[in-house]
Structure 1
């Protein structure tokens, strides 16, 4: 059985016809609607969310023109991500949580590059970079780190 990432509907309206995908760090899940049911610490790799063409225009305006984070409007049930396998229940062994620090550092570094040179990057990349920055800033505030 394949349990990897799949194409998902628009995270705002549920439309199965999507136009744009962006990738986020696992902690971004905590800022999405209905996130309390997701064990984000068990996510392996990036979280992908998709938008239909109409909602993509709204997200673009929210992020680039108004400086707002759209994640709280996104339904985590429509996100695509991989969860680590749960061997703990079968083997009675506790496994370490995945280390998200390398993913977050890489995504933060890439976002800073995109935001520092916006004319050299696609519109989608600029929106993704800003949302990654929003998610990491919010996560840092929530955890009390700077």
Structure 2
């Protein structure tokens, strides 16, 4: 049985060659196109969306130049994430929801570091900056991170 994430096609155009991956907190799922029925609270770990090269150029411009999130256009069916196993019926007991705070705080800390160091640190790429901005928008929108954090 495979329990890890799989490589997915571009979340915008379904191109199977999608070399750019962006990792997001599970709270991003409701912002994705068709993401409403997915119980993001049951996601274990990060949610990854992938972009083909041509769509990545558009996403980069949208985030960095226009200050807009691409998530409403990204299809949730093409995102990669792990759901907790549901053994409640089998074991006749209710399992606790995964605690998202660790994932969220780790992603937020990384995002703050990237935004603060971008341009001064050659280790951070433009992809890192785009990911950082999207992560911050998702967490700020749900009140998890303070505005402008």
Taking the TM superposition and a 5 Å limit, the aligned residue runs for 1:60-99 are: 60-99=60-99
| Structure 1 gap segments, 5+ residues each | none
> Who is 1:124 aligned against?
127
> Who is 1:52 aligned against?
52
> Who is 1:5 aligned against?
5
Return the structure number with greater helix share: 1
Residue 106 in structure 1 maps to residue 106 in structure 2: yes
Provide the C-alpha distance between the structure 1 equivalents of 2:92 and 2:131, rounded to a whole number of angstroms. 40
Aligned length: 143
Aligned with 2:143 (options 122, 140, 145): 140
Provide the C-alpha distance between the structure 2 equivalents of 1:3 and 1:117, rounded to a whole number of angstroms. 34
TM-score relative to the length of structure 2: 0.92
After superposing on structure 2, the runs of 4+ consecutive aligned residues of structure 1 that deviate more than 6 Å are none
